[in-house]
Amino acid sequence: MEFETNRSLDALAVTLERLAGAASTLEQTVNRLEAQQGVLSGQVQKIVATVEQGGEMPITAASDRMAELERKLREAELQIATLQGQATTTVGGRKTVSSATVTLLAKQGISNLDSIEAGALDGALQSLSMEQRIAVKSQLFRAGLLG
C-alpha cells in the first residue's frame, strides 16, 4: 500500500509540474497578446489620423469644382435641347416613300407627291385590295405626305 501511495504522489508531482509549465506558457502568451494589442491599436490611431488630415479639400478648390460642374451641366442641357429640336424638325420633314409606292402612284397619274388630294389618291388606289390601300396610305402618312 505504501508503494501505491508513493506512486500516486510521484504521479501527482509530475502532474503539478506539467500544470505549472502550462500556466507559465499561458502567462507568456497573454503578455505577447497584450503587446500585440498595444501595437495594433497604435497603428489604427495612426491610420485614423492620416485619413482625417488627408481627406479635407480646400474651400476654394471645392467651390471651383462646383462651378465647373454647374457650367458643364448647363452646356449639357443646352445640347440636349438643341438635339431635341433637331429631332422634331427631322421627323416632321421626312419625305421618303418606297419606290414601289411611287411607281404605283405614277401609273395612276399622281406624279407630284408634295400635294396629294384625297380624291385623287382614293381613285388611284381603287384597283388595290383593302390591305394594300391601307399599307400605301400608312407609308404616305409616315413620310409626312398625308395629314
Q: Are residues 86 and 103 in the same domain?
A: no
Count the domains in the chain.
2
Total-model pTM: 0.31
Tell me which residue range forms the domain holding 52: 2-90
DSSP state of 145: -
Q: What percent of the chain has pLDDT over 70?
A: 72
Query: What secondary structure, in 3-state letters, does 18-38 show?
Result: HHHHHHHHHHHHHHHHHHHHH
In this predicted structure, the answer to whether residue 105 has a pLDDT above a threshold of 90 is: no
Tens-place pLDDT, residues 54-96: 455 666 777 888 889 999 999 998 888 888 777 655 444 556 6
The reported pLDDT for the residue numbered 5 is 86
Q: Do the domain assignments include residue 27?
A: yes
Q: What's the CA gap between 27 and 102, in Å, rounded?
A: 101
CA distances from 97 to 24, 33, 57, 143 (A): 98, 85, 61, 6
Q: Do the domain assignments include residue 55?
A: yes
Which contiguous run of DSSP H or E holds residue 103?
helix 99-107
Q: Are residues 10 and 43 in the same domain?
A: yes
Query: Which carries the bigger pLDDT value, residue 33 or residue 145?
Result: 33
Q: Are residues 76 and 104 in the same domain?
A: no
Q: Are residues 19 and 44 in the same domain?
A: yes
Q: Which set of grid coordinates corresponds to residue 62?
A: 471645392
Q: Do the domain assignments include residue 69?
A: yes
Which contiguous run of DSSP H or E holds residue 79?
helix 59-92
